[in-house]
Amino acid sequence: MTTSHTPATSADTDKNRPSGPLRRCLRMPIGVQSIIAVGLGAVVGTLAPSAGEQMKILGDVFLNLVQVVVLPLVFPLIVLGIARMESVKKVGRIAGKAILYFEIVTTIILLIAVGLAKLTGIGKGAPVHGADAKDLDGMSQGIDFHELVLHAFPKNIFEAFGEGNLLGAIVFALLVGVAMAAIGEKSEPFASVLDSVASVMFKVVGYVIRVAPLGVLGFISYDVAHYGFGNLRSLMGFIAVVYAGLAIVVGVLFPVIAAIHHIRYVELMRSIAGLAGIAFVTRSSESVLAPLMGKLEAFGLSRSTTSFVVPLGYSFNTDGSVLYQAAALVFLANAYGADTSLPALLVMVGVLVILSKGMAGVASASIVVLIAAGNSIGLPAEGIALLLGVDFIVDMARTGVNVVGNSLAAAVVDSSEKRREDKRGPRPAGHTEPASAQQAGTLRKETAR
């Protein structure tokens, strides 16, 4: 009787635990769970479109959970990173290097996109007359540079936080960090508070990332149910050129840049692959901003560099998006028989170099810039509306590339700073990393589960 009682007790205990297959599923890496969610979402969106559209709420909830923690994490990281730099001069130096890198790489990518689109002749014979400009209602306001500047310098920082104004938060964090560095030891109590806030937010992000597959399921179900695959046939050439261009950027341009700056590109890609995959499916680079900084710190990048360059890149370094915009404008120019001579294409590149700066890291933000750029060179809105039917397909790829591009940008700037420090000699004795840096390693373990 005794022998029969013990197994019964174990069985009763096991009833409170997830079943075997469910337990194995929960132990899978986030990337694998997300792939499974993609397949399930495609099935739901195809077989039950009405249910698929309703499941978008899962994606929206996930995105809201991520976005609500972005600024509470990014702000203290930037402030602490700047406050603990050796001097204000270093802040300006890192910002200058980052912006110079953004401009050079963006221009190269635009030239690659325009050249590839011109070479393949995409857009000739496209059914542009079947597009409906009403699809652009609410999106055609374009880019207002006056508003962009005011966004960078908000009059109310709490309102900026409430609106999710990342650029304004970066500027304010820059001012606070410089002020803390200026007053020295008097800022230490505030620095300790910010360090605790950052540590807590890292933990919250770890919890949120665990539910990412549910967000993926919701987004894919909605995309397949809402957009379908009707426009794929006529726009397949455009999609192929965009994906080919992005492949060239990730597979050729970025490795060359990494080799020049002695960065382990393959290891970097392995480190951020799961997060790039989440950004790919959710079509929002902000969905992985916080865990991305943790991954980069775990990869070996300085926290002060990462916490400044990555958020800055989200506004000024959208590599995948600018490639898409250039290809789209050439596509439309060919479709409408507009001028595609070398001078006209160079003007197009120049316009995009300017308009692409300040683009938010949210889904379909590229369309807004595309409308503004199209208007500036005389392309009608109807043609841009045609691309909305396949925007979600190319948006996934360009968003994933944005994440990779910003990771590489942070690595390049950090590598430059480390070479400079090596020339100056070892760091002063007693230098320690703040507690929140340890949270980066914890976050890496959380997202790897």
> Which of 117, 204, 85, 143 is CA-nearest to residue 370?
143
Longest dimension (CA), the chain: 92
Distance CA 154, CA 165 (A): 9
Per-residue pLDDT tens over the stretch 359-375: 544 444 565 566 666 66
Q: Are 194 and 72 in contact (CB under 8 A)?
A: no
Sequence-separated contacts (24+) of 258-265 with Cβ below 8 Å:
258/408, 258/411, 258/412, 261/411, 261/412, 261/415, 261/416, 262/415, 263/408, 263/411, 263/412, 263/415, 265/408
Is pTM beyond 0.85? Reply is: no
- Of the pLDDT bands very low, low, confident and very high (cuts 50, 70, 90), residue 13 is very low
CA geometry: angle 415, 417, 169, nearest 5 deg: 100
Domains in the chain (CATH in brackets) are 29-424 (1.10.3860.10)
What is the spatial distance between Cα 254 and Cα 109, in angstroms, rounded to a whole number?
Answer: 10
- Answer yes or no: are the C-beta atoms of 88 and 178 closer than 8 Å: yes
- Residue 248 and residue 117: Cα distance in Å, rounded? 13
In angstroms, the CA 291 to CA 277 distance is 13
Task: Supply the mean pLDDT for the chain.
Answer: 76
The owner of tokens 């100056």 is 424
Average pLDDT over residues 235-250: 89
- Residue 376's pLDDT band (boundaries 50, 70, 90)? low
Residue 50: CB atoms within 10 Å: 8
Which whole-number Å values give the CA distances from 283 to 158, 174, 240, in the listed order?
A: 27, 28, 18
> Across 72-86, 182-196, 254-268, which has the greatest mean pLDDT?
254-268
Mean pLDDT of 96-103: 89
Candidate from 43-57, 104-118, 273-287 with smallest mean pLDDT: 273-287
User: How far does Cα 171 stand from its chain's mean position?
Assistant: 19
